Amino acid sequence: MQVQGKDVMYATQYSSPLDCAVKTLQREGVRGIFRGGLATLYREAIGNAVFFCTYEYSRYWMHNYIDSRQFSSNSGLVVAKDIGIGIMSGGLSGMAVSIS
């Protein structure tokens, strides 16, 4: 929608997002609305699988490491520890999704 009409040879094809949807339905049917949806589904499925696997594994590993004997004396910071582990696990998971 944003780049239509920028070329001198072509006029504006759609006046609004709703007009775009209506014209697409008229020309291509419901399949036209969902064109490219399968590629997006694959990307999101793989990305979400990588994200949640990395998140859960790193969270599990960090909890086991911090709950070991080395850190057992700092039991008063339970809430701060959980927040920090959540932030670190989320950051690592986001990087893993970007790499994948």
pLDDT in tens, 13-70: 788 889 889 998 999 999 998 888 999 999 999 999 999 999 999 999 988 888 776 6
pLDDT at 81 over 80: no
DSSP state, residue 71: G
Amino acid 2: pLDDT: 63
Domain locations in the chain?
1-35, 41-99
CA separation for the pair 8, 10 (Å, rounded): 6
Spatial contact of 93 and 55, defined as CB atoms under 8 Å apart = yes
Q: Show Cβ contacts of residue 74 under 8 Å, excluding neighbours closer than 6 positions.
A: 81
Residue 92 has pLDDT above 90, yes or no: yes
pTM for the full model?
0.62
**What local confidence, expressed as pLDDT, does residue 94 receive?**
94
